A and B are shown apart, each in its own frame.
Chain A
Amino acid sequence: MSGGLLFDFTIFVLSVLVGFEVISKVPATLHTPLMSGANSIHGVVLVGAILITAGATGPVGYLIGFVATAFAAANVVGGYVVTDRMLQMFRARRRPEPAAAAATERTSAGQGS
Chain B
Amino acid sequence: MRSFETALHLVYLAAATCFVLGLHMMNSPASARRGNLLSAGGMAAAVLAALVAVVRHGAGTGVGAVVLVAGLAVGGLGGLYAARSVQMTAMPQLVSLFNAVGGGAAALLAINDALHAGSHGLGRSIAVAVGLDVIIGSVTFTGSLVAAGKLQGIVPGKPIVFPGSRVVNAVLVATFLTGAGLLVADQSNRLALAMLALAALAFGVTMVLPIGGADMPVVISLLNAFTGTAVAMAGFVIGNTVLIIAGALVGASGGILTKLMADAMNRSIMNIIVGGFGTGDGGPATVVAGGVQVREVAVDDVAIQLAYASKVIIVPGYGLAAAQAQHEVAELAQLLERRGIEVSYGIHPVAGRMPGHMNVLLAEANVPYPLLKEMEEINPEFGRTDVALVVGANDVTNPAARRSGTAISGMPILDVDHAKSVIVIKRSMGHGYAGIDNELYTAPNTGMFFADAKAGLAGLTAAVKTLVG
Tell me which residues from 39 to 88 in chain A have a Cβ below 8 Å from any Cβ of chain B.
Answer: 39-57, 60-62, 64-88
* Interface: B347 (CB within 8 A): yes
Please state if B374 and A27 are interface contacts (CB–CB under 8 Å): yes
Complex CA–CA separation, A51 to B240 (angstroms): 10
> With A and B bound together, what is the CA distance between A94 and B60 in angstroms?
53
| Size class of the B contact interface (CB-based, 8 Å) | 35 or more
17 pairs, CB–CB < 8 Å, chain A vs chain B? A8-B235, A15-B246, A16-B248, A19-B253, A20-B255, A23-B23, A27-B28, A28-B356, A35-B254, A36-B91, A45-B231, A69-B67, A74-B101, A75-B102, A78-B94, A86-B363, A90-B29
- Distance in angstroms between the alpha carbons of A86 and B35 in the assembled complex: 13
Name the A residues within 8 Å of B248 (CB-CB). Answer: 11-13, 15-16, 18-19
A16-B251, A78-B78 known; A52 vs B83 contact (CB < 8 Å): no
| Interface 9-mer from B68-76, B280-288, B391-399, B430-438 | B68-76
Rounded to whole Å, the gap between the CB of A24 and the closest CB of chain B is 6
CA distance A15 to B20 in the complex (A): 9
Distance in Å from the Cβ of B226 to the closest Cβ of chain A? 10
A32–B359 contact, CB under 8 A? yes
**Shortest Cβ distance from B374 into A: residue:** A28
Given contacts A29-B359, A31-B260, A47-B46, 8 further A-B pairs with CB under 8 A are A15-B244, A22-B253, A28-B359, A32-B359, A44-B242, A50-B47, A55-B60, A110-B465
* Contact A53 to B359, CB < 8 A, known contacts A33-B32, A45-B106, A69-B71: no
* Residue pair A52, B80 in contact (C-beta under 8 Å): no
The answer to whether B252 touches A71, judged by C-beta atoms less than 8 angstroms apart, is no
Decide yes or no: A44 and B246 within 8 Å by CB, A32-B355, A38-B224, A49-B109 being known contacts.
yes
Residue-wise interface mask of B (421-432) relative to A, using a CB-CB cutoff of 8 A (1 in contact, 0 not): 000000000000
Q: Which of A22, A61, A72, A106 touches B23 (beta carbons < 8 Å)? A: A22
- Judged by a CB distance under 8 angstroms, whether A92 is at the interface is yes
Name the one of A5, A44, A88, A113 contacting B243, with C-beta atoms under 8 angstroms: A44
Whether B231 contacts A42 by the Cβ 8 Å rule is yes
Does B247 lie at the interface of the complex (its beta carbon under 8 Å from any beta carbon of A)? Answer: yes
Check B254–A47 contact: CB distance below 8 A: no
- Which A residues contact B (CB, under 8 angstroms)? 1-2, 4-5, 8-9, 11-13, 15-20, 22-57, 60-62, 64-95, 97, 106, 110, 113
Which label, helix, strand, loop or mixed, suits the secondary structure of the B interface? helix
CB distance from B64 to the nearest CB of A (A): 5
With a cutoff of 8 Å between Cβ atoms, the chain B residues found around residue A35 in the complex are 95, 220-221, 224, 254, 257, 354-356
Q: Contact between A48 and B347 (Cβ–Cβ < 8 Å)? A: no
Q: Please tell me which one of the listed residues A8, A74, A84 contacts residue B236 in the complex, with CB atoms under 8 A apart.
A: A8
CA distance A93 to B337 in the complex (A): 14
